[in-house]
Structure 1
Amino acid sequence: MAFDVNPIFINIVLKQYLADVTLVVGILKAEGEKRGTSQTWQKAMYKSGEIPEMELEYDFHGIGCWVKYKDRIIDFDFRGDAGNTVFGIDPWLAAHYLQSLDLKGCYDLDICHKLIMATIYKLLSEGELVASDDVYFYTNDYYKLSKSRLFRSV
């Protein structure tokens, strides 16, 4: 790697990624609920579409959703709680987010993934993250999930 990005900075990016996931889920949920159907908010949404007033495009996939919000790519899976309030970090999806920030040295997806993984390993060793299969949760979020009856098995 020709450059060194501070793991503290990548940790901030990961926290912002999760904050952005929560933000766009809130936008999507509000849009789904506005449709006033008896379905869940996810089922009320089209598989893909736009919310122009929010500068948001979305495409539901498998167990997740790809979102372009303003100039960021926020791709995530619904692998937290059933209430969609806690989300984990999938390293590849977080790497796409990092790449979309258009930061110096973070143009290549593989490099972004390596930076994310190096930070994840550091945070795991410090007890700040917990691994659940191939998803990583900040410790406080993981304990919220494990105490919740709404926990989705990941």
Structure 2
Amino acid sequence: MGFEPIAVVGRGCVLPDALDPDTFWDNVAARRCSLSAVPEERWRLPHRWALGTVDDHRDRTWTDIGGYVRGFEAVFDPSGLLVDPERILTLDPLFHWVLYGARQALGESGYEGPRERAGLVLGNLCYPTSTGSAYAEHVWLSAQEPHVRDALLTGARRARPDARNRFS
């Protein structure tokens, strides 16, 4: 079996404490740990209700430490793509990260737009996403008895999140 040679001509990434490959490698070289406590706005319930212990974690988590991407909103520009920016902004940030990373890789390669013989390698360890969770919650609550559904689906939660957010 033969293999055609390949060339990596561009890189991009969105990681905790590194919104570009050079910053990521600087963090690795400096042995920097990018784990932190969950951002305050990430969970929709008080931390004391979400946190259990290693032995008592049923329907809870036993840690709030993770790798959380911060500051991405300040660098992401949804314009200049083949999809309307307003539509892109309805999608889970995970989609934004893919677009951002792909744009970085293309920029680093020196090419613009799609290439006939090009590929993209993606990795994702982002579960559950907050938008994906909101979508699942809306579907579940919508199927409840009207008095329960109407009591819990209030305000901004009443609008169904973009169904494409179920794919990550």
TM-score with structure 2 setting the length: 0.27
Q: Which has the larger radius of gyration?
A: 2
Structure having the higher helix fraction is 1
Query: Which is bigger in relative contact order (C-alpha 8 A, separation at least 6)?
Result: 2
Task: Compare the two structures and name the one with the higher strand fraction.
Answer: 1
